[in-house]
């Protein structure tokens, strides 16, 4: 896991070399172990090329310096990620005549490019974002992994092409202005994140998951080479006779591949079935006890520490726990917004960041259970979306005039039912998808915001899988194409890299995803049983009490904290005289939302958390850069 940056700019670009070093310094937390640079000129002398790398050493500690070149040095690469099948690729490339100087997985990229050109991405099994400068043909090649586990941002200011692992590095480039994208800001209020390729920064875009970019002679082209398998048409087949056994074999392979490391590693353990499955399979392949790390809260209804402890005991792990409270939260949010390059719109960012800071004291890499819900249908919305068609066939007067108002009038504890009714009433698929986990529907945005509506909708690719997909596969395709890469995976990358540790996600193995996608729907979601095939497979591995307990998830008691410890911070941030964002909102509507939440009449925690963190992010970006504060220790928290 590392950080990369670079540029191609019209010559002479005299300030470019100094800018490249500033870009690398901006992402030093991604790679505290080493740095390296390339400064080159195109054959015709018309362009200057720079590559920068910050290294977090995980594989081949002694000879993995980057940029890394081929035998004659005319092909150079900077790389962020891990190529899990690099040993097999090395054998194939050596058989084709390529000579290797290191054991690093990075070097396989250089020779794979020489051998297969842009098709090299189809041979890679792993998580990656990399850039290759090929001086033989004056080409710059960028690529991002299939699911978007590793980030890559691009901008084209003043005729240059610049790229980096994080937006803060691009902002170090002279001439790239710090301006908000008004359309992206509008989408943020509905999605709680900005759907790609947009970002909140005008002129800065994401290289989308499963895409590559080629620069040659000043021309930039982008191409998609892979899409989530649930977006592909597949004939409905019979259930597999031993789906659980086949799934277990695939997941076990994915876990085993991700345990290859030259440094100490462990796992994040929530106590839920996803992370418990990963830890149990890791224990099968480890000679030493697996190091596990769990986080919990004083509010017992939100804490899974007891469940995590149970799994740790069963798997005989070396277990570490961290308990956090609201009083530690406010001090961390500015630094987290700085690392995130975006508002901390997911409350789970907080425990992941704090847990990563603790884990960094003993490991440099962790395995996590991220991606299971989006692959195996683990959320309530996956069940309820199947009834959207039937619900909308009810008369509109009944749905909107009677049922939804009746549900809205229910007490605070029925917030999930209120979300269900409001979301099912949205007739367009593209409106329902963000609303399942989003903050505001289109009408709610108009009611609250003074901002003009977006001129352009989000990129349609997440909403446009082939016709004929089942409702389940259609919503899973959205999750895999948008919710995962633009929100959850981005969160996981930033919060772990802020602590300079690498996270690996076995459920995001693309071969496992393709295998699962071939299953009939009822082997993923059966009645009210989510992740059916995982639960069946884990009966052979995990205790029954772990398999059948309710899902809690990586959630904070934010609804309580916003009425208690964080109340003054929230109100001062949104309505105080120094607020940067209060002009976005209609004061009466905002005040009503705050009062309803305060009095326990409605649960607006997702929306209010989004608004609070938008304010904190804008302060961190347009005022002094915050100094990251260390995570509190277990002793300090106790």
Distances (CA, A) of 276 to 350, 510, 598: 21, 21, 36
**Which position has the token pair 């800018």?**
19
Residue found by looking up tokens 């390729």 in the block: 197
Question: Is the peptide bond prior to 340 cis by the omega test (within 30 degrees of 0)?
Answer: no
Element at 1 (helix H, strand E): none
Q: CA torsion sign, 61 to 67 to 70 to 73?
A: negative
Tokens representing 512 are 């496992």
Nearest Cα to Cα of residue 350 among 27, 631, 2, 28: 631
Q: Are 299 and 563 in contact (CB under 8 A)?
A: no
CA 584 to CA 185: how far, in whole Å?
10
**Chain mean position to CA 123:** 23
- The catalytic residue among 2, 120, 315, 610 is 2
Residues 6+ apart with CB under 8 A from 283: 289, 290, 315, 316, 317
Question: Cβ(294)–Cβ(321) under 8 Å?
Answer: yes
Q: Which two tokens stand for residue 462?
A: 């997440």
Side-chain half-sphere exposure of 614, counting CA atoms within 13 A: 27
* DSSP assigned state of 190: H
State yes or no: is 610 an active-site residue. no
> From CA 119, how far away is CA 622, in angstroms rounded?
41
CB atoms within 10 A of CB 28: 13
User: Within 10 Å of residue 523's Cβ, how many Cβ atoms?
Assistant: 18
Cα separation, 55 vs 33, in Å, equals 5
Exposure letters 615-628 (e unless 16+ CB within 10 A, then b): bbbbbbbeeeebeb
Q: Which residues pair with 431 in a beta bridge?
A: none
536 neighbors 40 (Cβ within 8 angstroms): no
Phi-psi region of 630 (alpha: psi -120 to 50; beta: other; left: phi over 0): beta
- Cis status, amide bond into 316, omega within 30 of 0: no
| Residue with the two structure tokens 């309820």 | 384
For strands 153-155 and 161-164, give the pairing: antiparallel
Which residues are catalytically annotated? 2
């Amino acid at each position: 896991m590392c950080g990369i940056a670079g540029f191609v700019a019209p010559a002479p670009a005299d300030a470019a070399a100094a800018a490249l070093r500033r870009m690398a310094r901006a992402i030093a937390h991604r790679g505290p172990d080493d740095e390296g640079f390339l400064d080159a000129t195109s054959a015709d002398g018309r362009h200057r090329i720079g590559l920068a790398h910050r290294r977090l050493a995980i594989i081949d500690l002694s000879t993995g310096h980057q940029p890394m070149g081929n035998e004659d040095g005319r092909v150079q690469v900077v790389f962020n990620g891990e190529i899990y099948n690099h040993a097999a690729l090395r054998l194939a490339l050596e058989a084709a005549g390529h000579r290797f100087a290191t054991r690093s997985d990075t070097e396989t990229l250089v020779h794979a490019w020489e051998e297969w050109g842009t098709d090299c991405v189809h041979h890679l099994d792993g998580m990656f974002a990399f850039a290759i400068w090929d001086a033989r043909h004056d080409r710059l090649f960028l690529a991002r992994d299939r699911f978007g586990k590793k980030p890559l941002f691009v901008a084209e200011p003043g005729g240059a092409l610049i790229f980096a692992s994080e937006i803060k590095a691009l902002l170090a480039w002279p001439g790239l202005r710090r301006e908000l994208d008004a359309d992206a800001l509008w989408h943020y209020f509905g999605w709680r994140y900005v759907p790609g390729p947009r970002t909140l920064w005008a002129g800065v875009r994401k290289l989308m998951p499963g895409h590559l970019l080629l620069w040659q002679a000043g021309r930039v082209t982008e191409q998609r080479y892979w899409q989530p398998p649930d977006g592909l048409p597949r004939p409905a087949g019979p259930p597999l006779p031993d789906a659980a056994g086949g799934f277990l074999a695939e997941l076990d392979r994915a876990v085993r591949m991700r345990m290859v490391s030259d440094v100490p590693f462990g796992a994040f353990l929530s106590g839920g079935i996803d992370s418990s499955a990963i830890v149990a399979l890791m224990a099968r392949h480890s000679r030493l006890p697996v190091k596990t790390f769990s986080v919990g809260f004083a509010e017992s209804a939100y804490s899974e520490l007891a469940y995590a402890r149970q799994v740790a005991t069963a798997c005989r792990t070396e277990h570490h726990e961290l308990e956090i409270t609201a009083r530690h939260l406010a001090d961390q949010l500015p630094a987290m917004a700085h690392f995130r390059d975006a508002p901390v719109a997911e409350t789970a960012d907080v425990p992941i960041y704090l847990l990563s800071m603790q884990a960094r004291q003993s490991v440099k890499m962790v395995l996590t259970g991220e991606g299971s819900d989006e692959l195996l249908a683990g959320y309530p919305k996956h069940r309820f979306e199947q009834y959207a068609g039937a619900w909308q066939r009810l008369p509109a007067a009944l749905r909107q005039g009677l049922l939804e108002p009746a549900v809205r009038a229910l007490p605070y504890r029925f917030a999930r039912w209120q979300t269900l009714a409001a979301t099912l009433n949205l007739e367009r698929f593209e409106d329902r998808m963000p609303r399942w986990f989003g903050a505001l529907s289109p009408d709610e945005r108009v009611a609250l915001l003074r901002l003009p509506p977006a001129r352009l909708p989000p990129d349609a690719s997440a909403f446009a899988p082939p016709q004929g997909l089942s409702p389940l596969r259609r919503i899973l395709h959205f999750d895999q194409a948008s919710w995962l890469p633009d929100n959850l995976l981005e969160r996981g990358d930033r919060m772990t890299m802020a602590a300079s540790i690498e996270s690996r996600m076995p459920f995001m193995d693309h071969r496992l995803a393709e295998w699962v996608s071939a299953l009939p729907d009822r082997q993923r979601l059966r009645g009210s049983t989510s992740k059916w095939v995982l639960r069946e497979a884990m009966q052979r591995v995990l205790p029954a009490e772990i398999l059948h307990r309710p899902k809690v998830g990586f959630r904070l008691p934010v609804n309580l904290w916003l009425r208690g410890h964080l109340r003054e911070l929230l109100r001062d941030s949104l309505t105080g005289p120094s607020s940067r964002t209060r002009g976005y909102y209609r004061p009466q509507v905002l005040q009503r939302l705050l009062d309803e939440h305060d009095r326990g009449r409605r649960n607006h925690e997702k929306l209010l958390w989004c608004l609070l963190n938008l304010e904190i992010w804008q302060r961190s970006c347009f005022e002094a850069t915050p100094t990251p504060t260390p995570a509190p220790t277990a002793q300090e928290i106790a």
